[in-house]
Amino acid sequence: MRLLSCFIFILTLTTGLARADSIAPREGWQVMPTSLAYDELVEKLQDAVKAEGMAVVTQASASAGAKGRGLTIPGNRVIGVYRNDYAVRMLEASVAAGIEAPIRFYVTQDSGGTATLSWKTAGLVFAPYMEEGGQPLADLAAELDAVFLKIAQKAVSAQ
């Protein structure tokens, strides 16, 4: 029985079924743990996006979909953020980079009742297209990185 329990534990870890409490920092990501509740962080993020002159253009939530099926999983929401003038500049630099728009924020619910805000930087997202897009794409990525950081700071401030 003990051997079976160890096997199930190892299987759970290797198949990704074990859930980390929050998003771990990784290269090219920004990760901001907060003291905000999940729903509050989602709302503050959406407000901050508008305040910085950007637009929420996509949203997806596995937890909302699961709830519709009668399941409860920790909250998560992917929020795609962009603006048309950035889209036009991106496409002028690299049509292939268009697959990466919008840049996305990820809000995840932690076990302690708080939430984490994370996102891949535009520099990371557009890295595969830099040779094609050159300096115009690099400049756009740097601008977007600054905008996304401002949005995030606004969303997590005044906790």
Q: Has residue 59 got a pLDDT over 90?
A: yes
8 within some domain: no
Check residue 11 and give its pLDDT: 32
92 within some domain: yes
Q: What is the pLDDT of residues 109-122, one digit of tens each?
A: 998 899 999 999 99
Q: How many domains does the chain have?
A: 1
The residue range of the domain holding 105 is 23-156
- d(CA 19, CA 136) in angstroms, rounded, equals 39
Determine the angle formed by the axes of helices 38-51 and 130-156, rounding to 10 degrees: 120
Q: What is the helix (H) or strand (E) element at residue 33, kind and residue range?
A: strand 29-33
99 within some domain: yes
CATH number at residue 72: 3.30.310.70
4 within some domain: no
Check residue 20 and give its pLDDT: 52
Residue 46 and residue 79 in contact, taking contact as beta carbons nearer than 8 Å: yes
2 within some domain: no
Residue 93 and residue 101 in contact, taking contact as beta carbons nearer than 8 Å: no
